[in-house]
Amino acid sequence: MDEFPHQSEKPKPSTHRSQLGPADFQSIVDLAPAITWLTGADGQCTYLSDQWFDFTGQSQESGLGFGWLGAVHEEDRLFATKTYSEAMRDRKPFAMDFRLKSRRKSFQWVLYTGNPRYDANKNFLGYVGNAVDIHEKKLAELGIKRSEEFLALALDASKIGFYEWDIQKNEVTLSPQMCKDWGITQEQIGPLKNATAHIHPDDRSRVEQVIAKCIMERTGYSSEYRVIRPSDGLIAWMEVRGKIEFSADGHPYR
């Protein structure tokens, strides 16, 4: 068993809000990994920690006041100005991400957050906040979004539809192309039984058996069947392929 030094008496809580002096606080802020900033009640920036100047290459003269907006990417500057101005007007916390000029790279994504601050008499003093580097995370998110957009374009060009069945919620979602092929709207789907109701009666039981077998044997499936299109009553042949995905504990989830 680990032994710890005996403490005969618990330390008494301080009656002061902080025992740190201004110099101590300044040192802590400048050593913190995030950029710290402070404004006055008029919204003008009155303080930027050293990390801001190291990051952006701005001088104190150019960064204070509203000069910090000059380091924001020109395509994001209007958004940043609007978000900041609305927060100041309503005196509400805010969070936004934008591209910030970097002396190491051209621009990097940061998460910029702020909270209103008040004195003991609840007089508004301005804002305090920080800026955190989220460049790699943002690039990953944008990469996923771009991949999804490319996939959507490819599917649209090839006229291939796709669907998803959330097994836990028992909800079926069809892509726009598949809705078009089936002659239905997404509102006409929902639970799996609503989707299979549009399959030709002579094929429906076979399709349900294929799905059940796929879940039991954990295999993919391929099936051809007819659907009766509600929009015009026509019968259309479909070739559908899919697979069931399982959670870590072995339960099928989609």
Any domain includes 13: no
Any domain includes 149: no
Same-domain status, 187 and 118: no
CATH number of the domain that residue 198 is part of? 3.30.450.20
Digit-coded pLDDT (tens) for 58-101 = 998 899 999 999 999 999 999 999 999 999 999 999 999 999 99
Same-domain status, 129 and 166: no
Most confident of 75-79, 145-149, 158-162: 75-79
Show the domain range for 135: 22-139
| Residue 162 near residue 154 (C-beta atoms within 8 A) | no
Supply the pLDDT for residue 157: 59
Same-domain status, 84 and 120: yes
Structural domains of the chain, count: 2
Any domain includes 100: yes
pTM: 0.50
Among the three residues 139, 171, 195, which one is the final residue of a domain in this structure? 139
Any domain includes 145: no
Structure confidence at residue 4 as a pLDDT band (50, 70, 90)? very low
Same-domain status, 234 and 190: yes
